[in-house]
Amino acid sequence: AQSVTQPDIHITVSEGASLELRCNYSYGATPYLFWYVQSPGQGLQLLLKYFSGDTLVQGIKGFEAEFKRSQSSFNLRKPSVHWSDAAEYFCAVVPVYNQGGKLIFGQGTELSVKP
């Protein structure tokens, strides 16, 4: 079945430590790939997106993500986490056949940051 999976429901990292959030997808053709962040009481904000080209994508707030076709993954990374990064992170895809562009989301990963 077509799906987007975020294996980690909750991750805790120390401030200043590196971060990697996992995302795997299951689609016949590589979909368009996105990471969104949702801070408490806020709407979703786009961190970065991958449509084609360079498989390492830079986003806002110091985040990057790497597309790996062989692993059907699009993991989000940040070298040094700040306390303000505590939030919920959603991986999302748009299947290439979908003309309307509706997003299909993973379940989300909640990030906590220890001082």
Residue numbers at the binding site for another protein (CB under 8 A): 4, 6, 32, 36, 41-46, 49, 51, 90, 92, 94, 98-108
In the bound state with another protein, the residue whose beta carbon lies nearer, of 11 and 15, is 11
Q: Do the Cβ atoms of 24 and 33 come closer than 8 Å?
A: no
Nearest alpha carbon to residue 64 among 35, 85, 43: 35
Q: Measured between alpha carbons, how far is 106 from 92 in angstroms, rounded to an integer?
A: 6
CB of 50 to another protein, least distance (A): 11
Which residues does 80 contact at the CB level (< 8 Å), separation at least 6?
A: 16, 17, 18, 62
CB of 13 to another protein, least distance (A): 21
In the bound state with another protein, the residue whose beta carbon lies nearer, of 69 and 102, is 102
In the bound state with another protein, the residue whose beta carbon lies nearer, of 70 and 99, is 99
In the bound state with another protein, the residue whose beta carbon lies nearer, of 28 and 115, is 28
Q: Do the Cβ atoms of 87 and 66 come closer than 8 Å?
A: no
CB of 5 to another protein, least distance (A): 10
Q: Do the Cβ atoms of 89 and 101 come closer than 8 Å?
A: no
CB of 23 to another protein, least distance (A): 11
